[in-house]
Amino acid sequence: MSTPPAPSSGNEKSNDPEATVIQPHGPGLDPTLRSPAPVSKRSVVDADGDGEADLPQNRSMPHQDLARDSLLALAPREVLDNRPTPVLGGVYLTAKLGQGGMGAVYYGLHSRLSKEVAVKVLPQNLAEQDPDLMKRFFREAQIATRVDSPHIVRVYDVNRDDASGLCFTVMEYVHGLSAHGLMQPEKGKPPARVDEREALEVVLAATRGLAAAHEEGVIHRDIKPHNILIPFAKNSAKPNLAGAKLADLGLARMESSDQNLTATQSAMGTPGYLAPEQAQDAKNAGKPADVYGMGATLYALLSGQAPFTGSSAAMVLIDTIQKPHVPIRNLRPDVSEVTAELLDRCLAKNPAERYSDGAVLCEALGACRDWLGSAVRGPARPNPAPGMHAPQHASHASRQSSAARVEVSPLPSPGVAATPIPRRSAVSVPPPAP
């Protein structure tokens, strides 16, 4: 694996073509027309007066100059490293990580928790113009706190700063890179194709977080490579693939809730990764839609592109609804048939034909990964993915009848728990050709 890029929060400003670059201040809200927030002279070396340093000593990000950041123009400031530094909720914001349609994300140093954090800030003018947006912002944090998993980015706090009126969420900071960064190790170069087993490892870890969310009745609705964060291994710049975390529940909703905070019933999510039913109506997005998004992410890691691409978001949505995806082995013939079949099921147009939820998908991904990692495999394709239907193509059926016997599990009804993994002893290996 090539050397990973600089640390990322998963909200890369320059690499995410779907991200919306926000305009933090609208007409009449130009920060240059307002008095800047005063700078406190209180020392932050010992913020609580206990005689001990409160900020983490080892920092992942350098201290940037945020004096010209218009979004933080009204945020209170205190001196850190001899520099006026924005402070929200006891967190010193020292670098900008990225921005999107729901606000900007900053790297922060939490004085009370003495740890690195990520802080998402909602632009004040957006909150003022659209009260529902503020509800969504707070709802995201509330939903995230319901899910307890090491594979979900944790939320520590959500609040509103009285002095500036800024709403913000304090989250776990993941020192590493996003799955998108894994695909693009070097800026400006075409996406790389990730090794199949490594791709399965990343998606399996993220799906463990998704399974925990589904267990709590939480639907993510925006799964994509940018929203999977991969931490670096301890004291190393090597990504810990098995530690991948699912991030950004900004579009999440409770499965049992009919509440809709969007102005229209339009599709929410990222074109290319959202399911056909979600492309038609955001309210149709259930657990199978998240399964589709995770399958689309695996597809992108393996091929370097989403299942559907186009010159406009509208064209991508139309193709998502109407056209079949290009089989992964057409783009990358070295991908195993079992992974290809798993992808076909994840990307099925009919939600009932996909894996029913994150837990079932976890089992299927784990079976695929374990089979690929097995030391001895016969040339005949087993059926390691739980509940996976094994369609017989003519050429494969001919090889099977003459050279090997494969014990295949029947396809379960939609939503039924996965079937046991077939025994490899059921596969007889033909002698090698002379």
β-bridge partners, 99: 104
Q: Are residues 256 and 188 in the same domain?
A: yes
Catalytic residue among 222, 248, 290, 344: 222
Q: Are residues 202 and 247 in the same domain?
A: yes
Residue keyed to tokens 């802080």: 119
> For the chain, what is the domain count?
2
Q: What is the pLDDT of residue 300?
A: 97
- Kindly tell me the burial class for residue 396, based on how many C-beta atoms sit within 10 Å of its own C-beta (0-12, 13-18, 19 or more): middle
Note whether residue 235 is domain-resident. yes
User: For the domain that residue 395 is a member of, what is the CATH number?
Assistant: 1.10.510.10
Note whether residue 15 is domain-resident. no
Q: Are residues 61 and 209 in the same domain?
A: no
pLDDT digits (tens, 9 = 90+) for 20-64: 222 233 322 232 223 344 444 444 444 455 544 467 767 888 889
Rounded Cα gap, residues 76 and 63, in angstroms: 17
Of 152, 172, 192, which residue is a domain's last? 172
- Sign for the CA dihedral angle at 149, 100, 265, 140 comes to positive
Q: Are residues 131 and 205 in the same domain?
A: no
Residue 296: closest CA among 280, 319, 262: 319
Backbone phi and psi for residue 93, each to the nearest 5 degrees, phi listed first: -85, 115
- Sign for the CA dihedral angle at 367, 372, 377, 382 comes to positive
The reported pTM is: 0.73
Q: Are residues 308 and 294 in the same domain?
A: yes
Q: Are residues 117 and 232 in the same domain?
A: no
Is there a catalytic annotation at residue 222? yes
Note whether residue 297 is domain-resident. yes
Note whether residue 6 is domain-resident. no
Three-state secondary-structure class, residue 365: helix
- Kindly tell me the burial class for residue 242, based on how many C-beta atoms sit within 10 Å of its own C-beta (0-12, 13-18, 19 or more): middle
Rounded Cα gap, residues 315 and 82, in angstroms: 51
Of 130, 149, 172, which residue is a domain's last? 172
Look up the domain containing 75 and give its range: 31-172
Q: What is the pLDDT of residue 52?
A: 45
User: Going by C-beta distance under 8 Å and a sequence separation of 6 or more, which residues neighbour residue 38?
Assistant: 76, 77
Per DSSP (E only), the strands in 161-201 are 167-172, 176-178
Note whether residue 63 is domain-resident. yes
Note whether residue 13 is domain-resident. no
Q: Are residues 163 and 185 in the same domain?
A: no
Of 157, 172, 187, which residue is a domain's last? 172
Residues of the chain with pLDDT under 70: 1-54, 57, 101-102, 185, 250-267, 375-434
| Residue 401 near residue 352 (C-beta atoms within 8 A) | no
Note whether residue 4 is domain-resident. no
Note whether residue 7 is domain-resident. no
User: Kindly report the CA angle at 252 between 201 and 130, in degrees rounded to 5?
Assistant: 140
| Residue 277 near residue 351 (C-beta atoms within 8 A) | yes
